[in-house]
Amino acid sequence: MRLTVEEVIQRPPEAVFDFVGREHWRNHPRWDPNVIEMRPLTAGPIGLGSRARVRRRHGGDRDDEILEVTAFEPNSRWAGRSQIGPFSLEMTALIDPVEAGASRLRLMGDTQARPPIHYLLPVLAIVFRRRMRESLRRIRHMLEVETTDHRPGSG
């Protein structure tokens, strides 16, 4: 099952990629309230093959998973794959310039599940899409409002 959400963000592709890709371990818990923490398992800057342990909140429970970066194309594409219980998830962020200083950020989630849970995917798609939209709104807000407030010469 593939879900896609997108928004135009009033920041250049480099800034969007830095936030979503290069600083993924630090920023993902900020935009996704279900992620409690991300701890890198590989040394150095994030790149293709980098891995992190992700602690997620599911209701009152906590689950750990390993996230591996499967695509890292500066300023245009970042993807990661993980296994969350019976679900496998491939998340992709595509970044395209749309006008001077602005970018389109498209988040795609490809989810699969083992039987018998896979029958629930169409129902769960409603929840997954809502979470993706909320995360995208948070990303846009953090990039447009929070970073604008801290740029030299602002405020």
CATH number at 124 reads 3.30.530.20
In whole angstroms, what is the distance from residue 68 CA to residue 41 CA? 10
pLDDT score for 149? 55
Classify residue 64: in a domain, yes or no: no
pTM: 0.88
Which tokens in the block code for residue 115? 């039987």
Within a domain: residue 117? yes
| 122 lies in some domain | yes
Number of domains composing the chain? 1
Query: Are 64 and 54 contacting, i.e. CB atoms less than 8 angstroms apart?
Result: yes
What is the extent of the structural domain holding 128?
Answer: 2-33+73-149
Give the count of beta carbons closer than 10 Å to the beta carbon of residue 95. 26
**pLDDT reported for residue 152:** 44
* Domain-embedded: residue 20: yes
Low-confidence ranges of the chain (pLDDT < 70): 59-62, 148-155
Q: How far is CA 50 from CA 25, 28, 69, in A?
A: 10, 15, 5
- Tell me, what's the pLDDT at 60? 63
C-alpha span between 65 and 138 (Å, rounded) = 23
Q: Is residue 42 part of a domain?
A: no
Could you list the beta-strand ranges (E) of the chain.
Answer: 2-9, 35-40, 51-58, 61-73, 77-84, 87-99, 102-113
